[in-house]
Amino acid sequence: MDAKVKRIPVTREGLSQAKDELRDLKEVRRPRIIEAVADARSHGDLRENAAYDAARHDQAMMEKRIGDLEALINNAQIIDDMPNTNPDVVSLGNTVVIDFDGEEERYKIVGAIEAKPTANRISNESPLGKALLGRRVGQDTLFTTPAGLRTIKIKGIER
pLDDT digits 0-9 by tens, 67-107: 999 999 999 999 876 776 678 899 999 999 999 889 999 99
Return d(Cα 33, Cα 49) in angstroms, integer. Answer: 16
Return d(Cα 63, Cα 57) in angstroms, integer. Answer: 10
The residue-averaged pLDDT of 47-74 equals 93
Give the per-residue pLDDT at 131. Answer: 95
Q: Which domains does the chain have, with CATH numbers?
A: 8-79 (1.10.287.180), 84-158 (3.10.50.30)
